Amino acid sequence: MNAPGMPRARNPIELWAAAVRQAGGVGFGLKKEPRARQLLGSGGGKGKWIAADCWPDCGSKGFNKAYVEDGVVVRMGTDDTIEDSWNKPQLRACARGQSLRLWLLGADRLKYPMKRKHWEPGGGKKELRGKDEWVRISWDEALDILAGELKRIKQSYGNEAILAPWVGAIAARALGAYGGFTDQWGAHSTGTWLPAHLHTGFGYPHWNDRFDMVETKLFLLWGTNPVWSQAGLPAYTYMQAKRNGARFIAIDPFYNPTYEMLTDEWMPIRPGTDHALILGMIHTLLVEDDPAANKLIDWDFLNRCTVGFDAEHLPEGADPRDNLKDYVLGLNDGQPRDAEWAAQICGAPPERIRWLARLLAKEEHAAICTSGGVARIDNADTLPQAFIALTAMTGHFGKPHSQLGVHHHFGTNGGPQLVQGQNSRSYANSHLRAPPIPNPVCDDMMAGGFQHTSRKGCININEINTAVLNGHYTGVDGEKVPIDLRMIYHAHGSRVNQLPNTVEGIRAHRKVEFVVTQNMFMNADAIYSDLVLPVTSRWERDGNVCIGYREQLLWHSKVMEPYFECRDDLWIGVELAKRLGIDPAIVEPWSWKQEIFNQVADARVMNEDGKTFEPLVTITKDDLAAFDVEGVPQQGRITVEEFREKGIYHIPREPGDNHGFVYLKEFREDPDANPLATRSGKLEIHCQAIADLVNRLGWSQIRPIPAYVPPMEGYEATFSDWEQRIKGDYPLQVYNIHMPRRAHNFFDNATVMRELFPHEYIMNPIDAAPRGIANGDTVLIRSPWGKVLRTVWVTPHIMPGVTILGQGSRVDLDEETGIDRGGCANVLKGSKPTGGGHIGWNSLIVEVEKWTGAPLRSDVETAHVIPLKDAYA
């Protein structure tokens, strides 16, 4: 289905892609009829609806309600507090959020404190971690064991021996007060976008307001799938633009549900080759631009608002060769990065690359909407600069209905927060607004630990396991810093499952002297621990306050009593502090109930003038007595009881109001009067700060311009001889994407989600047929790092040479064969850091073969299997 002016498809991959577009896809319906009605229950009208938190890190920001009868959650609901409209859309829950009730009451929910049967101080039979039986113990014994091991290890080896990666704010307060711990740094989700946000001038959040976006006429959806990964408002905004006449082009290896709903054209490219495609587009614009007859480049914006595009606009003292224009034209090395060069790498035909460049340049109102996944590539440190350069060249910064946006948590609705609560800007708010407790072991960090200044006592996330096993980690300038790690403390997430090289992680957990996990579930961290502490969910605590998008503030209340003997992290921190000789008030300066009420009282809502704020809630003396908290009466827009009852406040919006926002508008109009937070004050296509950061770390050496560097395990690595195009031992790429079944590792253990969304390995028929693989077969996936079994879904929705294994599935390792039966993508992923120390999830190469053993059991059958024998004996 070729658009007017679009060249005809010429190569086999493009012919296949055109056929999929013409067929309209094969559909993404559910694979079986769910038991939804049976599982949700009726409610019966005897109970009460309570605003229920949904905290897993998926970015959807849905609003959930739980219907509670006699203390039991019997069904789920969502936002019905307002009439649904485009001006004021309901904040609806996604399938994951609606499964919360069943997830939290699942069979592997931890009920009691437990210790490993053969544990003893110093480790005992450490090799039995993951195999041993468990013994139920009291909270007093569990906390005595934890405090005793902390004291023993500190006295014997020092605080540096305590590794607490991403331990959570509450546990970090207790450990910080006890002398500190070894921490981690590095980007999980954003790939290489975080350094770009900090140093290029392209900050965060950077989207235009949704009322502006719906007037956009062309969208390049570039490696993004909000229907699965960010369900809710983003896809709804795109649909409004679609109804308003917008044209959508998808650039992605995978023809996903978002594209099936929206796009007019699909341009498949290989994972990790986006950079090459962009350079090919830039080359097209450079050689075809004619200001008099065929204006394609916004030279005015480039010259006034950017540095580094050409030799005439370089920072002072820069190497004249380090400008993007000369690099793309190949003036210094004789290699033009033209459409033909890009096509060999990305897989799109040269004529399609040129067509896309012209289309973007000639449209007055266009948006490039991408995601962190595109930059979760090894050696992709300057990819964001390439996106910035392309957007700047085509003039789509700082003007209405045009932008570059990166999907994360606020996609398609940018601008200042209209309803604010102090300390409620974070969707994962889980700590007291108390003075921070420094970590004496770890140097000061910036950007939430994603980049580190000297990185003393702080290990890159790619090196956590190797630091345990090998006794050193990488410091500044590639220096190998010795470290002797003896204890691992998990108090959040699932690090064994979610860090690269899961098999290596298991070995690391069997080496140290003590491992403790406090979690809701018997996840991979807990399985390979000596001590597990069952914690409450947010449903079992005194509520939470968080933002929705920029127009909502949410107040979630307590839904149910603590599950069996679960205790909240704050209680654990206080009890641990007592045993370590720390004043408990340092950990808990005031109650959590008081903290939440303080946040509600602090909430502010923007007035119609778009400039000033007023308190959101009215609080009376009677309210303070009823809530049993301290505070000062105040006058606000709604009563505090109304806010608690509804659980959500929507600020009214309408087109043309004073809350609209166009990112970089003031900067574009007058860059000198409105400089950006960069060395030059402008958008930096030549960014020396990023080059200095990466080069100082020592894993890679890069130029300050967006020069293409092949990923460590990208498309080029699928060849044993790139020049002769001879395929190697691992000829296929893996695209590691977010799936609808889970948010990272959250929800993957919920049976209802396993029923709705199978975790399949996705292949193209062109790759499956020569390997004798048919739809529904069990396949063995091999990488240089590990082996995984999965059931295969053969579909033309994925381009040839590329496969998909969604991230987050729980590891289920058969140690005799070394094969994972759970479909954990990190069993296949190596842990070698590159560039700025981000994780290159989408840099992964494999070979696949039909499995000749017994077929893999379905995930539904294994959902309620307790991971260890006699787990609750």
pLDDT tens-place string over residues 637-648: 999 999 999 999
pLDDT of residue 14: 55
Where is 488: in which H helix or E strand?
strand 487-490
Q: Read off the pLDDT of each residue in 707-720 and give the average, rounded to a whole number.
A: 97
The per-residue pLDDT of the chain, averaged, comes to 90
What is the percent of the chain where pLDDT is above 70?
91
| Per-residue confidence band for 606, with pLDDT thresholds at 50, 70 and 90 | very high
| Per-residue confidence band for 803, with pLDDT thresholds at 50, 70 and 90 | very high
Helix ranges restricted to H, 292-403? 299-305, 324-329, 339-346, 350-362, 383-393
Q: Read off the pLDDT of each residue in 766-778 and give the average, rounded to a whole number.
A: 98
Q: What gap in Å lies between CA 440 and CA 458, rounded to an integer?
A: 11
**Which residue from 859, 759, 753, 809 is spatially nearest to 101, judged by alpha carbons?**
753
pLDDT of residue 455: 60
pLDDT of residue 860: 86
Q: What gap in Å lies between CA 788 and CA 811, rounded to an integer?
A: 9
Q: Read off the pLDDT of each residue in 273-294 and give the average, rounded to a whole number.
A: 97
| Per-residue confidence band for 431, with pLDDT thresholds at 50, 70 and 90 | very low
**Residue listed under structure tokens 């003893």:** 120
Q: Read off the pLDDT of each residue in 747-763 and give the average, rounded to a whole number.
A: 93
- In the predicted structure, residue 39 carries a pLDDT above the cut 60: no
The mean-pLDDT minimum among 104-108, 123-127, 343-347, 782-786 falls in: 104-108
- In the predicted structure, residue 452 carries a pLDDT above the cut 50: no
Helix/strand number for the chain, H first, E second: 31, 40
Phi then psi dihedrals of residue 390, to 5 deg:
-65, -40
Question: Which domains occur in the chain, in start order?
Answer: 193-417+665-692 (3.40.228.10), 590-646 (no CATH), 715-862 (2.40.40.20)
Bridge partners, residue 72, by sequence: 69
Q: Read off the pLDDT of each residue in 844-853 and give the average, rounded to a whole number.
A: 98
Where is 241: in which H helix or E strand?
helix 233-243
Radius of gyration of the chain measured on its C-alpha atoms:
27
205 close to 234: Cβ distance less than 8 angstroms = no
What are the CA-CA distances from residue 197 to residues 224, 286, 603 (Å)? 19, 26, 28
* One-character DSSP codes across 635-698: --SEEHHHHHHH-EEE----TTSTT---TTHHHHH-TTTS--SSSSSSEESS-HHHHHHHHHHS
Bridge partners, residue 554, by sequence: 546, 648
| Per-residue confidence band for 205, with pLDDT thresholds at 50, 70 and 90 | confident
Give the residue with greater pLDDT, 32 vs 365.
365
Tokens for 325, please give them.
């224009």
The answer to whether the peptide bond before residue 615 is cis (omega within 30 degrees of 0) is no
| Per-residue confidence band for 37, with pLDDT thresholds at 50, 70 and 90 | very low
| Angle at alpha carbon of residue 764, lines to 762 and 766, rounded to 5° | 150
| Angle at alpha carbon of residue 607, lines to 602 and 609, rounded to 5° | 145
- In the predicted structure, residue 32 carries a pLDDT above the cut 70: no
Task: Collapse the DSSP code of 761 into the 3-class scheme (helix H, G, I; strand E, B; otherwise coil) and give the result.
Answer: strand
pLDDT tens-digit profile of 206-236? 999 999 999 999 999 999 999 998 888 899 9
**The residue type at 75:** R
| Per-residue confidence band for 450, with pLDDT thresholds at 50, 70 and 90 | very low
Q: What gap in Å lies between CA 356 and CA 220, rounded to an integer?
A: 9
pLDDT tens-digit profile of 146-196? 999 999 999 999 999 999 988 888 888 999 999 999 999 998 888 999 999
- In the predicted structure, residue 85 carries a pLDDT above the cut 80: yes
Tokens for 134, please give them.
């468990």
| Per-residue confidence band for 592, with pLDDT thresholds at 50, 70 and 90 | confident
pLDDT of residue 609: 96
Provide the 8-state DSSP code for 816: T
Q: How many CB atoms lie within 10 A of CB 705?
A: 28
**Beta 531-534 vs 114-116: how paired, if at all?**
antiparallel
* One-character DSSP codes across 100-168: HHHHHTSTTB--S-EEETT--TT-SSGGGTTTS-EEE--HHHHHHHHHHHHHHHHHHH-GGGEE-TT--
| Per-residue confidence band for 862, with pLDDT thresholds at 50, 70 and 90 | confident
- In the predicted structure, residue 364 carries a pLDDT above the cut 90: yes
Alpha-carbon dihedral 183, 187, 188, 191, rounded to 10 degrees:
-170
